[in-house]
Chain A
């Protein structure tokens, strides 16, 4: 536990963490100090002057809160007249050359300038000279589009590329009111985290070519989720919206702060995985190689399992812990070999030392914890004798090419419980559409053995069942997450003392 100190803000006594800068320290108890350039992941730069506060102890009349550590007995002034004036004046300065194009700006609704204008400025422009014109729609690479006129030169993006990715593509060139953010000719943004600058930008200067003009942010519902793009399990905001007469779709992922897992950022590839939740989804069930209603496909699969002598259940390493457990229990009851073989999800050497992992599956640690075999040998030897393969959303095409897949499956009956329509569901005799991870609640264990829970975010017009429910419909005992947890707590030592309702927001580090 960090050392706490008592200080007063506007005469009100608060207890905050010692040594933290004032913005974070008093921010933690719900008192906002306006700031534009400071960001907890990038540190204090002190260039925007928006966080100037007064401290009554004989220091200069104004000090930047971002560079002032909280100390015992400090008397911080936020509401004095001279502080209000400086906030007002800084806002006026920021807005001198800022275009008033909020109606067509993607940032509108989540823009620091807009919010601060309402709160601290609120006056009409007094400028009588033309605004400085700069370049717009600059393609910085990696899907980042820059508008130099909207930029307030807080340098968050510049600091991000220098401090975090250490690629340094961005810089602020020129001086005075001609200063602008740009790239060096021929050296555009070229790193796998570039889109974070869009989130970092407090105004609408950095926009994502993917999200631009797609949706106004105030229509978006922000639900928390876990990225299933790799085994890091970055915490995300799933920003989704259901337009009238249309289906609920996801517009973007944004990183959600979790110091224990991903910090403040996420990678670009992970960010784009939202598309898989919207597109190419398996929508129609199949039974006996023909389209059918879901219940017939379920019945057909149930019968196939009952009549099979040697079934093999293949689990995806992206399944939730609850789903894995349900499948495993069903496998045990039906005498099936349960495998989690998924070597194709691992891209050796693709990861880095920041967030991106080699393993492109969210819950391989879960497979291991539940004791599901993941070896190729075991899976292939089981397949040699199998007369039925039930594949629970495992993308076998990652592990086998088409010819090898044909050979593997041979004349074995092939059923899929899948989220995505692809060559595998084409090939399957039985296919049952399932909910994807934005549409169910569950838990996953990441590469650092941190157990994280996530909740259902997207509700489709015609929602598909969670794999847990599908497993129960084809004869499994486990019919919901709580039942899976009861079973797991009883059978998995590492989960014995875990209360699923009490897993902290930051995740729970499991003792391995």
Chain B
């Protein structure tokens, strides 16, 4: 449960690099309306910067020709969009029903104990960041943890410990 609406402003204008620019123009042709580009454009931004700033949201809205408030809505709705810089290893623990019931809290508590970070934090060395996210769609193998996009299923504290060892 978190308020994701406090966007970070970098103070510098954002724009796509040449590669993402070309990709944007390629993708926009796929859709009947330009507004459909909100999700892909946010992905492109995250690919490029690792996270999405207030400036980037404004840029995407203007580039697509829609309201910034709409892009803002979408970016804050999906927890897979990072709205602040993340660590080298970005750990996402699913917090939705199945994972909640099957012990996601023990994993989160363990990570706090081990790495000193709570959901939303980045470790001081910048190596790890932790986020509690909404349903990752693997309820059958809950609890689920995602590290840099890779799924680790049927998790528990022991398995998390082993996983961390491979990351350190």
Contact = CB atoms under 8 A, between A and B. Distances in A.
B5 A180 contact: yes
Given A168-B67, A170-B69, A182-B5, A175 B58 contact: no
Contacts of B1: 176-178
Given A158-B69, A183-B69, 17 more contacts: A167-B67, A168-B66, A168-B67, A168-B68, A171-B72, A172-B73, A173-B73, A173-B77, A174-B2, A174-B76, A176-B1, A180-B5, A182-B5, A182-B69, A182-B72, A184-B67, A187-B68
Nearest to A162: B67
23 contacts: A134-B3, A161-B69, A168-B66, A168-B69, A169-B69, A173-B72, A173-B76, A173-B77, A174-B2, A174-B4, A174-B77, A175-B76, A178-B1, A178-B3, A178-B4, A180-B3, A182-B5, A182-B69, A182-B72, A183-B69, A184-B57, A184-B58, A185-B9
Interface in B91-137: 134
A186 interface: yes
Interface string B47-72: 00000001001100100001111101
B134 A171 contact: no
A134 B5 CA distance: 11
B7 interface: yes
A265 B76 CA distance: 31
A187 B7 contact: no
Nearest to B8: A185
Contacts of A170: 69
Contact of B7 (A167, A171, A175, A185): A185
Nearest to A185: B54
Contacts of B69: 158, 161, 168-171, 182-184, 187
Contacts of A185: 7, 9, 54
A174 B70 contact: no
Contact of B4 (A134, A172, A173): A173
Contacts of B68: 168, 184, 187
Given A173-B73, A184-B72, A178 B2 contact: yes
Interface of A: 134, 158, 161-162, 167-178, 180, 182-187
A169 B76 contact: no
Nearest to A182: B5
Nearest to A169: B69
Nearest to A176: B1
A174 B72 contact: no
A141 to B, nearest CB: 13
Given A173-B4, A175-B134, A168 B70 contact: yes
Interface string B1-27: 111110101000000000000000000
A157 B73 CA distance: 15
Contacts of B7: 185
Nearest to A133: B3
A184 B5 CA distance: 9
B115 to A, nearest CB: 25
A126 B69 CA distance: 35
A182 B77 CA distance: 13
A445 to B, nearest CB: 38
A305 to B, nearest CB: 59
A177 B134 CA distance: 13
Contacts of A171: 67, 69-70, 72-73
A175 B9 CA distance: 22
Nearest to B69: A171
Nearest to A183: B69
A159 B46 CA distance: 29
Contacts of A172: 73
Nearest to A170: B69
A428 B112 CA distance: 80
Nearest to A174: B76
Contacts of B134: 175
Given A184-B58, A184-B72, A174 B3 contact: yes
Nearest to A184: B68
B67 to A, nearest CB: 3
B67 A174 contact: no
A463 B99 CA distance: 72
A145 B30 CA distance: 41
B108 to A, nearest CB: 18
A171 B70 CA distance: 6
A186 B61 CA distance: 13
A158 B67 CA distance: 11
Nearest to B68: A184
A134 B9 CA distance: 21
A194 to B, nearest CB: 14
A168 B66 CA distance: 8
A174 B66 CA distance: 19
Contacts of B73: 171-173
Interface in B67-95: 67-70, 72-73, 76-77
Interface centre among B54, B58, B69, B73 (most CB of A within 10 A): B69
A154 to B, nearest CB: 15
A182 B57 CA distance: 15
Contacts of A184: 54, 57-58, 61, 67-69, 72
Given A169-B69, A187-B69, A174 B5 contact: yes
A378 to B, nearest CB: 50
A129 to B, nearest CB: 12
B4 A169 contact: no
The 10 closest A-B pairs by CB, nearest first: A168-B67, A171-B69, A184-B68, A173-B76, A171-B73, A173-B5, A184-B72, A174-B76, A175-B77, A185-B54
Nearest to B57: A184
Contacts of A178: 1-4
